Structure 1
Amino acid sequence: MSRDSKIKTNIKTRIETNIEKNSESNRSEHDSSKTDYVTRLFSEGDELYDAMIEAIENAEQSIYLETYTFLFDEVGQRFVEAVNAASDRQVDVYIILDAAGSMQWRTFSLLRKKFNKSVKFKWFHRWSWRNPLRFNIRNHKKVLTLDGKQAFVGGYNIHHKSSRRCVGEERWLDFHVSCQSKLAQAIEQQSKKFWLGKHRSTREAEVGDTLVITNVNHKCRVKLRKHIRQLIQQAKQSIVLITPYFVPDGYTIRTLIAAAKRGVDIQLFIPKRSDSQFIDWVARGYFSKLLEAGINIHEFQPRMLHAKVMVVDGQQAIIGSANMDFRSLFINYELILLFRNKSILQQLLDQINSIREQSEIIRIKQWRYRTWRYLPLVLVGNYLKRFL
């Protein structure tokens, strides 16, 4: 056996041992206590990045980082330096970056050189001529876990576009949460299994009043869609939905329309302009149906709205990496939290009110004159949505 093979075998054995050790306390993946494991909401990239860097600096045993976009810019460089320092003090560091999301020549050419050799590093689904379709399946999660005691989950990528220090008022608006204790441990277990490629054995985890939902296998993908649709179907008063890319499947559209017709107040927030003009055009092709059903659609004006949030009846919320689009619901690997923490919910509702104040509502009478422009794009988008 070669030296590299021995190293990989030792790493795999060490991770599997940790999984078995921690699974004793999470055998049923359920904790009935009412502890608030979701501890903080982040709506500013700089505050989140500072907290994540501080957590990395304080890590003692293990760090797992998964993210869709990691650029070697002002923000990315800080993370490289922090994880290198952690590996120098013998912390086990595992990093998985998505090849499509981080597909820039500078990132590809520099990151392997910039990370210490002791940092365990993988590109997720790099392009391969032997299996080109694999490139379309992307790891869209944004997760950082530390020592099984602290975790960060949400929609923020690691790049300068979300930093006020770097781009000022044009920074992207997003949401992330920090977690602690048994919830952080449950999230780390999923990251460990993902690193080992044990996708089939991954299951959702329930800790207190929080549900950790991922979709790295077929059963989990079905459950993720089921949870989202059940929340819509069970809503009694209100639904607030925030997504940067609105290209859902037909069943989800019909579920939203049915909820609106039974009297649920539905507020949909999207950016006026996202970073994909074609997706913006396709999304607007759905507006007439939604508006006629009584769904209120708001366009966030000042900057890119990248948050992925759903709040139902003001009592429970989903936050994470999944957009309300076909790719997140059927193709990509995602991780979301479904929680009922009253303090975090109130902070989230306050942020939503701020978003509402900076948005323009679309009026159905005005929109009818523009509908015809987008109909051809809807037809094209429905055909191409698995690739958008």
Structure 2
Amino acid sequence: MEYNVKDLSLAEQGRKQIEWAEMHMPALMSIRKEFAESKPLKGIRIAAVLHVTKETAALMRTLKEAGAEIWLAGSNPLSTQDDVAASLVKHDGIHVFAWKGENEKEYYDNIEAIIKPEPNVVMDDGADLHAVIHEKHRDLKILGGTEETTTGVVRLKAMEEQGVLLYPVIAVNNAFTKYLFDNRFGTGQSAIDGLLRATNVLIAGKVAVVAGYGWVGRGIASRLRGMGARVIVVEVSSLRALEALMDGFDVMPMKEAAKVGDIFITATGNINVISREHFPLMKNGAILANAGHFNVEIDVKGLKEMAVSYRTIRPYTEEYTLSNGNKLYLLAEGRLVNLAAAEGHPSEVMDLSFSNQALSVKYIVENRSKLERKVYNVPSEIDERVAYLKLKGMGIEIDSMTEEQKEYAKQWKYGT
């Protein structure tokens, strides 16, 4: 049994956490029951780079029930829940290489460790695993992979467009039952959870600046407004800026927002959204957090170089003093605040995302001979099935069309 985790003695607490998550993931548990009987992944070796949380554990345990051998590493140096990692090793026989607080070398060493057994299927969150395989292990015979998040899908689409993608990948992030719920409701709640755990500040009455108005930004902006903040949206897309304005938010450039914001949360997937030029403009006491996948959205290096001093003032909260005397507070080192300073998305919303993951892996294995070296969206039948299973698990029933309605939907001759 190969693994590298912080402390196996944490396994019992981790098991309780996993049980708690699975209690709130009825769709995935329904899929697990089916997988346990049919074993659709028997003989398949999976390498996964995902946030090692209790929800991810529920997914890994489901794939193992399907017959797969699992090798798991973390997709962020600060997001691993060490008790969960220990439980997966001790109780489930899953090869885990992850702990909270990895440095950059350890992070990539762990990715190499799960590539070494030569996986058949790869699962990723951010595309670091995909990138390492394409850069250093191009000889591997991989049937296909999945990608969990927007940032990773962007990287994979770039690979496809450049003609270097080695195997088919299903963009789980693009499923309706993923981004409409995980990105919006999941990050909307969990980013604020991380902000509050790190600072315990009152949100009501403050000016909150949200950079990016994609589904993640929309979720964060709406939740901040719901807690009493006055919200400003910063965007580079005219369409999204107009939408934010029509949704009732103020819209302005970051240079202007920097002067008035109390709380800043980035959610763009791009680099230096808050940069050196913005820090001197900010109020004394401004709080900076990132909800994008990589720690590049806030120019942390620039902030450190500009600061005359800095110190850790609370767990996950660093105080930077600028030459003008103003103090800025950076949360979770600029990494994903919802996973570094909190527990990530609630289990109920990850039930949707990880049901898509499980069914997408099964789809890849069953359709391996038909798939090309492309980035595919989740098949619509999987998307619909996940929504159905979720509603069923919540005890919700919906109508179905009558035969008359089905026929009417097919015709074109009837008018007014």
TM-score, with length taken from structure 1:
0.31
Give 1 or 2: higher strand fraction. 1
CA radius of gyration, larger in = 2
